[in-house]
């Protein structure tokens, strides 16, 4: 079952623009993570934000977490064609035990 729902399902922007992806989840979490997947390849961890954190930065990435709304957003600034990929949020739910539950992903296309 999917914990996270991501919005939008697909996003197409021009190089240099910012890309924002949203994730909503249903249950209490220990942390929320974002992963990137290039076409058919393995997922790569981008950033982890814990339930007691509200915002985190890593390079051109900015993640926010609102536990009251059970939602998170991933902002990629000054996007590049190489950022073209699928982006997934994943939640470590308090009651689920040792697993990450992934959302359906956002397909980001950055046009040169």
Partner 1 sequence: DSGVTQTPKHLITATGQRVTLRCSPRSGDLSVYWYQQSLDQGLQFLIQYYNGEERAKGNILERFSAQQFPDLHSELNLSSLELGDSALYFCASSVASGQGVEKLFFGSGTQLSVL
Residues near partner 1, by CB under 8 A:
1-2, 30-31, 33, 35, 40-45, 48, 88, 92, 96-105
CB of 14 to partner 1, least distance (A): 28
Do 57 and 34 touch, CB atoms closer than 8 A? Answer: no
Q: Which of 40, 30, 19, 8 is nearest to 101 (CA)?
A: 30
Which CB sits closer to partner 1, 13 or 47? 47
Our CB check for partner 1 shows the closer of 2 and 18 to be 2
Structural tokens at position 24: 């909503």
C-beta of 40 vs 112, nearer to partner 1: 40
CB of 112 to partner 1, least distance (A): 26
Determine the Cα–Cα distance for residues 54 and 38; give it in Å rounded to an integer: 28
Residue whose entry in the numeric block shows the structure tokens 């739910």: 93
């Amino acid at each position: 079952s999917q914990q996270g729902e991501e919005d939008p399902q697909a996003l197409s922007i021009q190089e240099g623009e910012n890309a924002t992806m949203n994730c909503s989840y249903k249950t209490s979490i220990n942390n929320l993570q974002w992963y990137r997947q290039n076409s058919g390849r393995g997922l790569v961890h981008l950033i982890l934000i814990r339930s007691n954190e509200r915002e985190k930065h890593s390079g051109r990435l900015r993640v926010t977490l609102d536990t009251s709304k059970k939602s998170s957003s991933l902002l990629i600034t000054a996007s590049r064609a190489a950022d073209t990929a699928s982006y997934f949020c994943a939640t470590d739910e308090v009651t689920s035990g040792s697993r990450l539950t992934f959302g359906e992903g956002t397909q980001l296309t950055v046009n040169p």
